[in-house]
Amino acid sequence: MKVRVHVMLKTGVLDPQGEAVRHALGALGFEGVSSVRQGKVIELELAEGTSDETIGEMCEKLLANTVIESYRIEHI
């Protein structure tokens, strides 16, 4: 089974990488971009039947820094 874990900074946490992308887009002539939030996507191949609880533990312990990041699990 495959899952995708989407990790994003929580609302209210400054995103300097996202701000750099927003600025670069403006410098390239792409107007109208008022905000960019950058995150990461992690794809996992897991044994069939791996529970969402176990995947959540993986996220909590390693894949996301839950103090400043949130995550969403997507089955693919």
Q: Span 57-69, mean pLDDT?
A: 97
Residues, the chain = 76
pLDDT at residue 22 in the model? 97
Confidence of residue 12 (pLDDT cuts 50, 70, 90): very high
Lookup: tokens for 1: 């089974």
Answer yes or no: pTM beyond 0.75. yes
Residue-wise DSSP of 5-29: EEEEEPTTS--HHHHHHHHHHHHTT
Lookup: tokens for 43: 């794809």
Domain 2-75 -> CATH class: alpha beta
Q: Which of 4, 16, 3 is nearest to 68 (CA)?
A: 16
Strand boundaries in 21-61, DSSP class E: 39-45
